[in-house]
Structure 1
Amino acid sequence: MSRSRRKTPIFGHTTHESERDDKKRWHQRWRARERATLASAAPEALADHVTLLLNEAGNVWSMSKDGKTWWPPGSQVLTAERIARELGRTPRERAALKKRLLRRWMTK
C-alpha cells in the first residue's frame, strides 16, 4: 500500500482521522434500543415489529467529522511550499519537508 494514491483529494473537516468511535457508540445505542423494544413487546406483537429508524438512535451532525471538501492539488502544493518555507532551515530541508507533506496528504 505504500504506492496507493488518493484518486480524488477530498478530505473531511476534522482533526479526527475517522468516525469509528462515533459509529461504534451509535450502533451500541441502536442495538440497546432495539433489544429494549423487543424485550418489552408481547410475543404476539413481534411479527408486527418495525426496526428503529437510523435517526432515532443518534444524529449524524453530532459526529466528529463535519462534512467534506475538495482540496485541489494546486492548493496542496502552495500550502506545502508555505509550510516548508516557515519550518525548513535549509533549501534541502525545505524540499524534503514539502515532498513529505505532499505524500502524506495524497496517500490513503
Structure 2
Amino acid sequence: MSRSRRKTLIFGHAICRSERKDKQLWHRRWRAGERTLLASASPEALSAHLPLSESQVSDVYWMGKDGRSYWPIARQVAMAKRIARHQGRSPQERAALKKRLLRKWMGK
C-alpha cells in the first residue's frame, strides 16, 4: 500500500484524520437509547415503535471533522511550491520539500 494514491481529492476540514471514535460513540448512544426504549415499552407499543433519529442522539458538529471540500492537484502543487519557497534554503531542498509535501497530501 505504499504506492496507493487518493482517488478522490476530497479532504475533511479538521485536525483529526478520522471520525471513527466519534462514530463509535454515536452508535453506542443510539443502541443504548434503543435498548432502554424497547425495554420500557409495552408489548402493544412495540409494533408502533419508531427508531431514534440521529439528531436525538448526536450532532455532526460535535464530531472531529467539520465538512469536506475538494482540493484539486493544481492548488496542491501551488501550495507545496509556496511552502517550499518559504521554508527551503537551496533549490535542491525546495524541490525535495515540494515532492515530500505532495506525496504526503496524496497518500492515503
TM-score, normalised via structure 1 length: 0.89
- Pairwise CA distance, 1:92: 1.3
Q: Give the distance between the partners of 2:105 and 2:34, measured in 1 at CA.
A: 40
Are 1:15 and 2:8 matched, yes or no? no
Structure having the larger proportion of residues in helix: 1
- Pairwise CA distance, 1:103: 0.7
- Pairwise CA distance, 1:86: 1.6
Q: Give the distance between the partners of 1:7 and 1:41, measured in 2 at CA.
A: 47
Match of 1:25 in 2: 25
Q: SS in structure 2 opposite 1:11?
A: strand
Q: Give the distance between the partners of 1:52 and 1:22, measured in 2 at CA.
A: 18
The code of the aligned residue for 1:8 comes to T
Match of 1:41 in 2: 41
Match of 1:57 in 2: 57
Q: Give the distance between the partners of 2:59 and 2:94, measured in 1 at CA.
A: 43
The code of the aligned residue for 1:81 comes to K
Cα deviation, 1:1-42, whole Å, max 9, x if unaligned, reads 111111221111111101112111111111111111112112
The code of the aligned residue for 1:30 comes to W
Q: Give the distance between the partners of 1:34 and 1:42, measured in 2 at CA.
A: 14
Match of 1:4 in 2: 4
Q: Give the distance between the partners of 1:31 and 1:71, measured in 2 at CA.
A: 36
- Pairwise CA distance, 1:83: 1.0
The code of the aligned residue for 1:101 comes to L
Q: Which runs of 5+ in 2 are unaligned?
A: none
Match of 1:68 in 2: 68
The code of the aligned residue for 1:18 comes to S
TM-score, normalised via structure 2 length: 0.89
Structure 1 runs of 4+ with >6 Å offset: none
- Pairwise CA distance, 1:50: 2.2
- Pairwise CA distance, 1:61: 2.7
How many residue pairs match? The answer is 108
Q: Which runs of 5+ in 1 are unaligned?
A: none
The code of the aligned residue for 2:52 comes to L
